Structure 1
């Protein structure tokens, strides 16, 4: 995706299901069209195909498994691709994987022509993930996730240092940051620190007016 990317993770929030999910999708599509800023979404799994059919925005899965065949309940990469998705999150802090599993999922994404967004929690893990050459590394200090305290303000060094570490290992890998992102100022600070965008969830998904929040997020870009 073109930079900067604002990627909204719906998680398993009730506000990210059914008609509420559709309202977020419509808001993302409208704000993306008006602003020219790429806004991607990672809906809940049952929403992937409808989102890909109904909204002209990049759609990501929240997780994939590097399997296919007789694996009940798993999410093979090829099914995500068949649904119309452009990529997937991998190793979110709420869906942690081993290093070997991360590598296998990145390879499965590549094989199925999907972007991979590998989530990490510090500079060292960001560098390790970059060695697998995913599309993105998304660094999120776990203590700030859902806190309302922006990583861009509370820990700008983790953004700056993660960007430097990732680029030393694999210059083509892009870097997102997340945790507590809630305003256009947060997004601008992240981009000024070298990030290619942000990964966020509750500030949009739980908002009374997701469109208003999205407009604020892109307002300084």
Structure 2
């Protein structure tokens, strides 16, 4: 099971969360990665935790002011990148271009999708994984695996039908060990979460609870 912690633009200490994630990963044997703001990638990577970018743009080296270059995040220590989060939507063409950019920089990829239909469309572009996240549940207290397990099961089936090599993760409202276990029971290979760790009073305790059932 893979746990990807998206720090978004929350007012947390990215290095402190990263250090907690590193320690919990080492103690539990669960793969945990942290996706900070681009400006904090090197600080997070310096802790030794697996580090991901929140986004890379579908561009190459050149005149692209304000875009996030895949090679630049890789140089800063990123090993993977999120794409198409509900808070940073892309067209299918731009997702395809961003996947090409990530491939150039040897970054692992997780593409977010709202529902099983989108999961199927995105899986056709051959990312490493897709994460199903209904927008209405993002940032809430109820996980998608609890609120609507059919969405997770449908996402797994949709990806399997298109490309069995594409893993499926689930996000939106994930915060506890029960959520993680439920995701796994529905066929998900990982989870994507944010506020459950980034906004926790004690991120280490939140992560320990999250992986407690693994």
Question: TM-score, normalized by length of structure 1?
Answer: 0.94
- Structure 2 unaligned runs (5+)? none
Do 2:14 and 2:44's aligned partners in 1 also have CA atoms closer than 8 Å? no
Q: Which residue of 1 aligns with 2:81?
A: 88
| Correspondence list, 1:69-84, <5 A | 69-84=62-77
Q: Deviations over 1:145-164 (max 9, x none)?
A: 01111111001011111011
- 1:172 CA drift (Å): 0.7
Runs (4 or more) in structure 1 with deviation over 3 Å come to none
Do 2:5 and 2:33's aligned partners in 1 also have CA atoms closer than 8 Å? yes
Q: How many residues align?
A: 213
Cα-Cα RMSD: 0.8
SS of structure 2 residue aligned to 1:14 = coil
- 1:113 CA drift (Å): 0.8
Do 2:15 and 2:43's aligned partners in 1 also have CA atoms closer than 8 Å? no
- 1:9 CA drift (Å): 0.2
Task: Give the Cα separation in 2 of the matches to 1:27 and 1:132.
Answer: 34
Of 57, 62, 80, the match for 2:54: 62
Matched, 1:173 2:170: no
Q: Which residue of 2 aligns with 1:102?
A: 95
Matched, 1:36 2:29: yes
- 1:56 CA drift (Å): 2.1
Of 108, 132, 135, the match for 1:139: 132
Q: Which residue of 2 aligns with 1:122?
A: 115
- Structure 1 unaligned runs (5+)? none
Task: Give the Cα separation in 1 of the matches to 2:58 and 2:73.
Answer: 12
Question: TM-score, normalized by length of structure 2?
Answer: 0.97
Task: Give the Cα separation in 2 of the matches to 1:74 and 1:55.
Answer: 26
Task: Give the Cα separation in 2 of the matches to 1:9 and 1:186.
Answer: 16
Do 2:116 and 2:155's aligned partners in 1 also have CA atoms closer than 8 Å? yes
